[in-house]
């Protein structure tokens, strides 16, 4: 189980970094729920990624630490390619079911200007 959870998290970050928006259906479960976004389904992630990549075309997420226990991964990442910010960090927690991400919680130090 631990290897499946780790692999699912790595697949997600690789797809994000490669702008592979079509792979979200294979990475996330059909009933996926994002607690930070309050959205359901892989399509919501596709839309979020597309908006983020449009705003920050050079963005890359680098895994700094990953802890896996049971069906859950906690991942600390650094975010590169955001103008005017020095590598914001994110902490995301994923619950994986059948090799796909089913649920996500997250915190970010990314500064959002209003």
b or e along 74-101 (b: 16 or more beta carbons within 10 Å of the residue's beta carbon)? Answer: ebebebbebeeeeeeebebbbbbeeebb
- Give the Cα separation of 39 and 36 in Å (integer): 8
9 closest CA partner among 99, 78, 81: 99
Q: What is the pLDDT of residue 9?
A: 96
DSSP classification of residue 41:
S
Q: What is the pLDDT of residue 55?
A: 94
> Are residues 75 and 65 in contact, defined by beta-carbon separation less than 8 angstroms?
yes
pTM greater than 0.85 (yes/no): yes
pLDDT at 19 over 80: yes
The class level of CATH for 2-108 reads alpha beta
Q: Where are the domains of the chain?
A: 2-108
- Give the Cα separation of 9 and 77 in Å (integer): 11
Residue reference for tokens 């189980």: 1
59 closest CA partner among 83, 27, 89, 23: 83
Q: What is the pLDDT of residues 50-86, one digit of tens each?
A: 999 999 999 999 999 999 999 999 999 999 999 887 8
The more confidently predicted of residues 84 and 101 is: 101
């Amino acid at each position: 189980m631990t290897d499946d959870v780790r692999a699912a998290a790595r697949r997600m970050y690789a797809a994000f970094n490669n702008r592979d928006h079509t792979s979200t259906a294979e990475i996330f479960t059909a009933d996926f729920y994002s607690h930070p976004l309050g959205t359901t389904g892989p399509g919501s992630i596709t839309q979020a990624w597309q908006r983020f990549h449009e705003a920050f075309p050079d963005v890359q997420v680098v895994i700094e630490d990953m802890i896996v226990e049971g069906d859950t991964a906690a991942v600390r990442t650094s975010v590169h390619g955001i103008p005017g910010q020095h590598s914001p960090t994110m902490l995301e927690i994923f619950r994986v079911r059948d090799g796909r991400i089913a649920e996500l919680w997250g915190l970010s130090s990314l500064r959002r200007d209003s």
